[in-house]
Structure 1
Amino acid sequence: MTADCPLVVRTPAELLALLPYLLGYHPHDSIALIGLHGRDLDFGACFDLPPPDRGEEAARDVAGAVARQRADAVVIVGYGPPRRVTPIALHVTEALRAAGVRIDDVLRVDGGRWWSYLCEDPGCCPPEGSACLPPDSVIAAEATYLGQVALPSREDLIAQVAAVQGPAREGMVAATERARSRFPGLLNDVRRIRRAGRLAVREAEKRYRSGAALTDDEVAWLGALLTDRVVEDYALDRTSAHHWRVRLWTDVVRRVEPAYVPGPACLLGFAAWRMGWGPLARAAVDRALRAEPGHQLARMLFEILGAGIPPGAMSRRDG
């Protein structure tokens, strides 16, 4: 498995049981790809099944992104009925092979059973399919124990970066007004804004590293300061692959008012990408772009994710 989830996977059924924890949610009507580096699972990616008339084009796009990950081999998993999955699974297989990527297996999952397109031995891959492991399997329990989460669907993943509502939102509206009343005092001195921003970023990091959280006023103040691109860059430069950073920026992006979403959403997207959590990174960047379509950092991260550039392409640093 990986350093973040050091589990041993021996069979296709165990791999399929673990895949939702690698992605962060249970796939439906989609194609998932698992990159292998030696004996380790290097990355997981998932794409909605395209319309039949876009199968070959979508397969080429997927193959290009996956090839850039430089995995030793790839396992392709299609979720859905054969009439929907088989054409795109075969297109993706052909496109990856044309790109020089070795295919370890091609699987299909539907109705609690799985099939292999490559295995022709009825002893291990019967025509009626093989049963998937139950939700409470040992591999799922071990992944959960190690802190991995598999939400019911991608929609549930998107909801994890959505704005808080109810009393929590009302509290943030009031806190944002207080932050706005503080901000004019800094407007004539950019250096003061950036000093305050660096201090707020470091305090947030300290708080979440220790397992604590920011108050409403602290979140609102940090959100306002992150509208300065130098402060945003400062926070970005400090972002590394740690779970607590994902928790930090998830909390902030969910609590700030809409005008202040892009900065923390990009920082969450970058932190998730550094962790290898592509689906969460995409959900965060999509939210940033919905709030501000022209946001420079959001556009850059969107291109990085779309190009399939792996986190290992940049040097790791402690945070």
Structure 2
Amino acid sequence: MPNFRVNQPAELLAAVPYVLGFHPSDSLVVVGVRARKLHFAVRVDLAECADEPDTAALHLAEVLHDQRVDAAVVIGYGPPGQVTPLVDAARRALTGRSIPLIDALRVTGDRFFSYTCESPECCPPDGNAFDPGSTLIAAEATLAGKVALPDRAAFARMIAPVSGPPRVAMEEATDRAETRFVTALEGPGGQAALVAEGPAFVEAALSRHYTGGTLTDDEAAWLCALLLLVPVRDAAAHLVEHRPDDQHLPLWTDLTRRAQPGLVAPVATLLAYTAYLDGQGALASLALDRAREDDPDYPLAGLLHRAMVAGIPARRLRRRPGPGLRRRAVLRRTTRRPSRN
């Protein structure tokens, strides 16, 4: 989560796209504030909540409560007829969880409106015009290397499969890696030898990306193959928890794009896990989509999805002995309504 401090509604609205990674539309965004900083944000599509706004709002409030926020801001993006019922439901739900509401806003076109301010001097009936790209927040975010893409679809394209010649090259490299993998499994060391090789190979790949390099096609394909082994994948997850997140996101993003069908689920799940620990819920959600498209029954992807749906804070996923998610904590809390960033 970018370390933003905001004091005005326009500043908050300018920050939200950099928190999510894209400019939201037809959405409800609830931002949690802790220690006067943006701490957490969750986004849902208006259409997904139109039939049961109160149920969706109760789930969002529960997620915010679990994040231990000091207060919240509710922001609806879209026409008033679609936004207002869900904003009202969210306000009621937050009150029910004793979460103070800083403001409730609607963004329609290039104007924003407050549901809580009744002063025409600062909140005129026709709203306030604003340009999120012209604010100091936007300049600071850009300087810090943060990106706000036009919409969620553009964000999804960041981790879409490679195409054209790069795809052909990876297909050929994957064929070679699979042959090598099967040969190694049938060799004298068997799976144990591959498991022993895996963690060091992950470390080397991380170091390569951290210094600005990338893996060759053969290296990328071989790492994707090694990550099919659960002990290797779990060793990679363990590294995610104990090294800065910015060392991992480039590697797992690159591999999620380059991995061939049948090999996507492990790397995309590692990308989702890294993003979730880094407070990038939208990226985590999109990465899980890639993982579950590749293998709908991939256990770790399903477990992480349930953790996100249940609103289990990332800090709880870090605080456990050994690699893997806290299965009991996840399974105890999977009866709530799903939310998507």
TM bracket (short chain): over 0.9
CA RMSD of aligned residues (A): 1.5
Equivalent in the alignment of 2:108: 110
Q: Is the 8 A contact 1:14 1:133 kept in 2?
A: no
Deviates more, 1:275-284 or 1:207-216: 207-216
**CA deviation digits over 1:161-204, x for unaligned, max 9?**
11010111011011111111211222131211102212221111
Secondary structure of the structure 1 residue equivalent to 2:131: coil
Q: State which of 130, 147, 155 in structure 2 corresponds to 1:132.
A: 130
* Alignment partner of 1:141 is 2:139: yes
Equivalent in the alignment of 1:17: 14
Secondary structure of the structure 1 residue equivalent to 2:277: helix
**CA deviation digits over 1:11-46, x for unaligned, max 9?**
110110111001100000000111100211101211
How far 1:205 sits from its partner (Å)?
A: 1.1
Equivalent in the alignment of 1:69: 67
Letter paired with 2:131? L
| Alignment CA distance shift 1:314-1:294 (3 Å) | closer
Equivalent in the alignment of 1:243: 246
**CA deviation digits over 1:197-222, x for unaligned, max 9?**
12221111111121211111100000
Equivalent in the alignment of 2:329: none
Equivalent in the alignment of 1:84: 82
Q: 1: distance between equivalents of 2:49 and 2:18?
A: 27
Give identity over the alignment, percent.
Answer: 42
Letter paired with 1:264? V
Q: Tell me, which stretches of 5 or more residues in structure 1 are unaligned?
A: none
* Alignment partner of 1:294 is 2:297: yes
Counterpart mapping for 1:187-206 below 5 A: 187-188=185-186, 189-206=190-207
How far 1:134 sits from its partner (Å)?
A: 4.5
Equivalent in the alignment of 2:281: 278
Q: 1: distance between equivalents of 2:182 and 2:160?
A: 29
How far 1:151 sits from its partner (Å)?
A: 0.7
Equivalent in the alignment of 2:42: 45
* Alignment partner of 1:29 is 2:26: yes
Secondary structure of the structure 1 residue equivalent to 2:134: coil
**CA deviation digits over 1:252-287, x for unaligned, max 9?**
010010110000001000100111000000110111
Counterpart mapping for 1:144-155 below 5 A: 144-155=142-153
Equivalent in the alignment of 2:338: none
Equivalent in the alignment of 1:166: 164
- Output the TM-score relative to the length of structure 1: 0.95
- Output the TM-score relative to the length of structure 2: 0.89
Equivalent in the alignment of 2:335: none
**CA deviation digits over 1:197-252, x for unaligned, max 9?**
12221111111121211111100000011111111111011104422311110000
| Alignment CA distance shift 1:316-1:146 (3 Å) | farther
| Alignment CA distance shift 1:233-1:26 (3 Å) | same
Counterpart mapping for 1:225-240 below 5 A: 225-240=226-241
Q: Is the 8 A contact 2:4 2:38 kept in 1?
A: no
Q: Is the 8 A contact 2:112 2:130 kept in 1?
A: yes
Secondary structure of the structure 2 residue equivalent to 1:94: helix
Q: Is the 8 A contact 1:33 1:75 kept in 2?
A: yes
Q: Tell me, which stretches of 5 or more residues in structure 2 are unaligned?
A: 321-341
Q: 1: distance between equivalents of 2:255 and 2:318?
A: 26
Q: State which of 119, 140, 143 in structure 2 corresponds to 1:121.
A: 119
Letter paired with 2:214? A
Q: 2: distance between equivalents of 1:192 and 1:122?
A: 71
Secondary structure of the structure 1 residue equivalent to 2:51: helix
Q: 2: distance between equivalents of 1:186 and 1:262?
A: 22
How far 1:311 sits from its partner (Å)?
A: 1.6
Q: Is the 8 A contact 2:13 2:132 kept in 1?
A: no
Letter paired with 1:232? R
Deviates more, 1:181-190 or 1:226-235: 181-190
Secondary structure of the structure 1 residue equivalent to 2:32: strand
Letter paired with 1:33? V
Letter paired with 1:202? E
